[in-house]
C-alpha cells in the first residue's frame, strides 16, 4: 500500500485489544477479518488512503495443517501486513474511544 496521501485515523494497540476484546472482535468480523488470524502486536490502524478508509493489520500465516508458522530465528509467529476496506466503524460497535471515521 502506498504511503502517499495516507493518514492514520485511529490506532488500536495490543493493550486496547485486551481491554475491549469483545467489541473489537465484533468489529473485526463485521469488516471481514478472522480475529484469530489477526496479530495483536504491533496493533491495528484505521487509515485514510486517498478516498478509501482501510483497516491495516498483521495477519498470521498458516501452514497446510492450519497451524501458525513460526520464524525460529526470531522466535515469533510469521505475519504479513494486510489491509481491508472499512465497512463498519468502531463507533457502530460501541468502541469507547473517539472514532473520527463515523
49-61 tens-digit pLDDT:
999 999 999 999 9
Whether this model's pTM surpasses 0.75: yes
d(CA 50, CA 73): 37
pLDDT value, residue 102: 47
In DSSP notation, 36-83 reads GGB-SSS-EEEEEETTEEEEEEEEE-B-TTSPBPEETTTTEE-EEEEE
pLDDT value, residue 2: 53
d(CA 91, CA 102): 7
Residue that the C-alpha cell 463515523 belongs to: 102
Give the confidence band of 99 by pLDDT, cuts at 50, 70, 90. very low
Judged against a pLDDT cut of 50, whether residue 63 lies above it is answered with yes
d(CA 24, CA 46): 13
Amino acid at each position: 500500500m502506498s504511503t502517499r496521501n495516507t493518514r492514520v485515523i485511529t490506532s488500536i494497540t495490543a493493550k486496547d485489544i485486551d481491554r475491549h476484546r469483545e467489541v473489537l472482535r465484533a468489529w473485526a468480523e463485521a469488516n471481514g477479518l478472522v480475529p484469530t488470524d489477526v496479530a495483536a502486536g504491533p496493533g491495528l490502524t484505521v487509515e485514510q488512503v486517498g478516498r478509501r478508509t482501510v483497516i491495516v493489520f498483521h495477519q498470521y500465516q498458516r501452514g497446510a495443517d492450519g497451524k501458525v508458522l513460526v520464524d525460529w530465528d526470531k522466535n515469533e509467529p510469521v505475519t504479513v501486513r494486510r489491509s481491508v476496506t472499512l465497512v463498519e466503524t468502531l463507533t457502530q460497535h460501541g468502541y469507547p474511544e473517539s472514532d473520527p471515521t463515523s
